[in-house]
């Protein structure tokens, strides 16, 4: 049996379940269940917080998972991206208050940047030889500059409307992300076979769409 991790409730949940359905894998409506047996496929669906999916896949609690590439890169676990899925598109960007227009990269030196993505941000700062202070917060990062907690933020952006309503603008993009399918590195031959079967179907669904 293939154990498939899906975000429990959030931006990726609906599209992930829809994709499974298009692959002929039924997921019965379980009210708030942690796991549920799939229909028409030898699989079990585990409903988890997206942040936990890379670790569960690394540890072999789940065999594969549907998750944002941003989370995969941030968590940096021993998993493999086996397919890009084309939904959940967003950017991880540094945003600045509107009052600080057109600064040069080096002017980020000494700034305090609030983020939920310290690993990706610190790597980028290092690559660009910028010494800034990162301040890790887990949610509502966009309000940090207004309450005086930070000079800038590094957060996910899609339409930009959240930035706009917080009087911020997108300054620099660190990463373009979309939902991906990750797999553990040590699947048994039987599970590998099920994954290959699923991948074949996902690719057929993608081909039919584009």
Residues contributing to the site for ligand ATP (CB under 6 A): 7, 10-12, 49-51, 68, 70-71, 88, 90, 156, 158, 177
Nearer to ligand ATP, 42 or 51 (CB): 51
Q: What angle do CA 37, 7, 196 make, to 5 degrees?
A: 60
Residue number, 12 or 168, with CB nearest to ligand ATP? 12
Instruction: Report, in Å, the least distance between residue 150 CB and ligand ATP.
Output: 18
158 binds, among ligand ATP, Zn ion, none (CB under 5 to 8 A by kind): ligand ATP
Residue 93: closest CA among 111, 112, 116: 116
Partner whose binding site includes residue 11, from ligand ATP, Zn ion, none (CB under 5 to 8 Å by kind): ligand ATP
Minimum gap (Å) between residue 7 Cβ and Zn ion: 8
Q: Of the candidates 15, 22, 42, 51, which one interacts with Zn ion according to CB under 5 A?
A: 51
Could you count the other beta carbons within 10 Å of the beta carbon of residue 41?
21
Point out which residues bind Zn ion (CB under 5 A). 50-51
């Amino acid at each position: 049996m293939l154990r498939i991790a899906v975000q429990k409730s959030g931006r990726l949940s609906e599209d992930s379940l829809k994709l499974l359905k298009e692959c002929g894998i039924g997921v019965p409506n379980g009210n708030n269940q942690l796991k549920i047996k799939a229909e028409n496929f030898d699989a079990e669906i585990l409903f988890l917080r997206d942040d936990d999916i890379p670790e569960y896949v690394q540890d072999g609690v789940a065999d594969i998972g549907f998750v944002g590439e941003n989370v995969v890169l941030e968590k940096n676990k021993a998993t493999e991206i086996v397919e890009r899925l084309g939904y959940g598109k967003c950017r991880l960007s540094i945003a600045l208050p509107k009052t600080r227009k057109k600064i040069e990269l080096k002017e980020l030196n000494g700034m305090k940047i609030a983020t939920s993505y310290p690993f990706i941000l610190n790597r980028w700062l290092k690559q660009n030889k910028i010494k800034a202070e990162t301040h890790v917060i887990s949610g509502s990062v966009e309000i940090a500059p207004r309450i005086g907690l930070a000079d800038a933020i590094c957060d996910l952006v899609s339409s930009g409307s959240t930035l706009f309503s917080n009087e911020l603008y997108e300054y620099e993009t660190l990463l373009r992300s979309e939902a991906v399918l990750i797999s553990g590195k040590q699947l048994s031959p039987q599970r590998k076979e099920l994954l290959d079967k699923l991948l074949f179907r996902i690719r057929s669904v993608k081909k039919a769409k584009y």
